[in-house]
Structure 1
Amino acid sequence: MSYGGDFEQSHRYTGIYAGRILKGERPSDLPVQLVTKLEFFLNLTAAKHLGITCPPVLLGMADTIID
């Protein structure tokens, strides 16, 4: 199980930052950006190998289920 930031959103911010720097902005002048969308991943294959049964509530909460 993993709970973390959305990779697509963080990569989009990276591209925006790179574009702004290439256009001449100083990196020290750019604001700090935080990922606002979090995702919950559940790996059922790993859970099965560890002998863990995931409750249906967790399955319903997961954004991505790896089976």
Structure 2
Amino acid sequence: MKRRVFITLLGGAAATWPLAARAQQAKAATIGLLGTGSAAAQSQWTAAFVQRMRELGWVEGRNLTMEYRWAEGRT
């Protein structure tokens, strides 16, 4: 009887372990930033935007992913 209980507990732990590990991972939000100019021309605005997001609790690389795309004058 003890062997049967042990195997049942072991099987239950193995089945629920991946679910618990998956539940702890928070999905990062993604923001896409499109610019008509170059990255250098928009750096002041971009820095202010990133700073404000940080003040609101959104930190790039931790809970936020930023995708930058620049037209480089090709509009």
- Which TM-score applies when normalising by structure 1? 0.36
Larger Rg: 2
